[in-house]
């Protein structure tokens, strides 16, 4: 802990033998994400220097690593309790790639980009060697902009935007000066940074910034709530939602374009709930889990699950079972 009361931790693998450096980084991240290295990469030297600050409800890190691929899988999500929204602020590099697995979308990122991720949804990130800042905040701090904070997952702020440049500048200044400022100042400035980030992502999503955006935000909230409340109905579809709520089809298309469309959002939510049920109720037959979230057949459920998460429901349940029993040994 620093003298000002801010909890500080430095992690640096440079003192380890080269063949242990990437593995040490993997172990450091292991409770939340997994590293996906090649066999050759494990044997090579790896650079990782991480300065982490815990300030009240916020956690922010200033990190440099060599190129690496990390991912948060649905199996990991279903067996841990890490929740919140993460923002990755890339300070340099020009060929990073983020993939939101369930929605099967890829995003190319470069220095100055800001990526938002929801810890309750899978993601894979291929980072080139670079310096980056990560900020983790409780989901409820974004609800004034995103009534369902999960909607921010996979969204990216363009590095050329003035708000993005301001966020990068302020975040960089903060991580370089936390040790010199009182706890209260650090917390206040970090809360202000979160407000700025939320506003920028809200404007990027078309949910804030004008009266029309407020109307869109209400439509967005009502539609997502209706889908959640009727998820188990096998007849739930984009057409049934639009008809029931009396909403303009073109507006709904634009609101859910980031998710791949309203149909993709419904399918994603069904699969996410099913993944939790597979772990929470290991004795329930897999086909019944699929039926309970609105799939019309076991084969439809299995195919959709495999496409979204790169494993079958059976494989995910088995992976979690093996992990839990390994922990008990």
Same domain? 172 vs 290: no
Question: Domain boundary at 204, 228, 256, which?
Answer: 204
Please tell me whether residues 124 and 247 are part of one structural domain: no
Sorting pLDDT into bands at 50, 70 and 90, what band is 192?
very high
Q: Can you give the three-state secondary structure of the chain, one letter per residue?
A: CCCCCCEEEEEECCCCCHHHHHHHHHHHHCCCCEECCCHHHHHCCCCEEEEEEEECCEEEEEEEECCEEEEECHHHHHHCCCCCEEEEEECCCCCEEEEECCCCEEEEECCCCEEEEECCCCEEEEECCEEEEEEEECHHHHCCCCCCHHHHCCCEECCCCHHHHHHHHHHHHHHCCHHHCCHHHHHHHHHHHHHHHHHHHHHHCCCCCCHHHHHHHHHHHHHHHHHHHCCCCCCCCHHHHHHHHCCCHHHHHHHCCCCCCHHHHHHHHHHHHHHHHHHHCCCCCHHHHHHHCCCCCHHHHHHHHHHHHCCCHHHHHHHHHHHHHHHHC
In a domain, 1, yes or no: no
- Cα gap 106→112, rounded to integer Å: 18
| Cα–Cα nearest to 5, from 245, 179, 168 | 179
Residue 190 is assigned to a structural domain of this protein: yes
Residue 123 lies in domain:
7-204
Quick one: 35 and 181 in the same domain?
yes
pLDDT at 329: 46
pLDDT confidence of residue 98: 93
Query: In terms of domains, do 182 and 299 share one?
Result: no
Residue 107 within any structural domain of the chain: yes
- State which of 204, 221, 243 marks the end of a domain: 204
Is this prediction's pTM over 0.75? yes
Residue whose token pair is 């202000």: 192
Give the Cα separation of 206 and 247 in Å (integer): 17
Q: Are 292 and 233 in contact (CB under 8 A)?
A: no
Same domain, 158 and 79: yes
For residues 112 and 183, state if they share a domain: yes
User: Is residue 106 one of the residues assigned to a domain?
Assistant: yes
Residues 218 and 198 in one domain: no
Banded model confidence at residue 325, pLDDT cuts 50, 70, 90 = very low
- b/e code 65-88 from CB counts within 10 Å (16+ = b): bbebbbbbbbbbbbbeeeebbbbb
pLDDT, position 102: 65
Taking residues 170-174, what's their average pLDDT?
97
- pLDDT, greater one: 240 or 215: 240
Q: What is the mean pLDDT of residues 281-294?
A: 93
> Do residues 46 and 146 share a domain?
yes
| Mean pLDDT, range 246-257, rounded to an integer | 91
Q: What is the pLDDT of residue 320?
A: 66
Select from 145, 179, 204 the last residue of a domain: 204
- Whether 323 has a pLDDT exceeding 60, the answer reads no
Burial label, 172 (beta-carbon count in 10 A; 0-12, 13-18, 19+): middle
At residue 84 the predicted structure's pLDDT band, cuts being 50, 70 and 90, is very high
Residues 226 and 253 in one domain: yes
Burial (Cβ within 10 Å: 0-12, 13-18, ≥19) of residue 183:
middle
Q: Is there a single domain that holds both residue 148 and residue 276?
A: no
Percent of the chain with pLDDT over 70: 96
Give me the CATH number covering residue 324.
1.10.10.60
Rounded to an integer, the average pLDDT of 265-288 is 92
Q: Is residue 152 part of a domain?
A: yes
User: Could you tell me if 222 and 313 lie in one domain?
Assistant: yes
Share of the chain above pLDDT 90, in %: 73
CATH number at residue 38: 2.60.120.10
In a domain, 322, yes or no: yes
Residue 2 within any structural domain of the chain = no
Q: Is residue 57 part of a domain?
A: yes
Which is higher by pLDDT, 243 or 94? 243
Q: Are residues 150 and 216 in the same domain?
A: no
Q: How do residues 2-43 score in pLDDT, each as one tens digit?
A: 888 899 999 999 999 999 999 999 998 877 898 988 888 888
User: What total number of domains does the chain contain?
Assistant: 2
106 backbone dihedrals φ, ψ, rounded to 5°: -110, 145
């Amino acid at each position: 802990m620093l003298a000002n009361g801010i909890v500080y931790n430095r992690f640096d693998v440079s003192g380890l033998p080269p063949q242990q450096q990437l593995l040490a980084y993997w172990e450091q991240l292991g409770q939340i994400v997994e590293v996906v290295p090649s066999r050759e990469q494990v044997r090579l030297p790896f650079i990782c220097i991480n300065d982490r600050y815990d300030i009240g409800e916020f956690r922010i890190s200033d990190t440099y690593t060599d190129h690496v691929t990390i991912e948060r899988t649905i199996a990991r999500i279903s067996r841990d309790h890490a929740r919140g929204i993460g923002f990755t602020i890339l300070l340099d590099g020009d060929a990073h790639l983020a993939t939101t697995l369930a929605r099967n979308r890829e995003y190319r990122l470069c220095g100055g980009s800001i990526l938002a991720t929801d810890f309750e949804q899978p993601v894979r990130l291929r980072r080139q060697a670079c310096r980056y800042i990560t900020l983790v905040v409780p989901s409820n701090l974004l609800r004034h902009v995103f009534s369902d904070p999960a909607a921010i997952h996979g969204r990216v702020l363009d590095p050329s935007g003035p708000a993005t440049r301001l966020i990068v500048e302020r975040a960089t200044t903060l991580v370089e000066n936390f040790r010199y400022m009182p706890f209260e100042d650090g917390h206040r400035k970090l809360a202000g940074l979160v407000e700025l980030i939320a506003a920028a992502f809200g404007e990027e999503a078309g949910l804030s910034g004008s009266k029309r955006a407020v109307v869109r935000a209400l439509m967005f909230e009502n539609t997502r709530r209706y889908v959640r409340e009727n998820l188990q109905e096998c007849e739930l579809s984009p057409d049934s939602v639009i008809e029931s709520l009396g909403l303009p089809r073109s507006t709904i298309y634009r609101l859910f374009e980031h998710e791949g469309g309203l149909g993709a959002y419904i399918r994603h939510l069904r699969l996410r709930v099913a993944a939790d049920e597979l772990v929470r109720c290991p004795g329930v037959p897999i086909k019944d889990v699929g039926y309970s979230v609105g799939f019309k057949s076991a084969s439809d459920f299995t195919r959709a699950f495999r496409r979204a998460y790169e494993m079958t429901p059976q494989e995910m349940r088995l992976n979690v079972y093996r992990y839990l029993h390994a922990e008990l040994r």
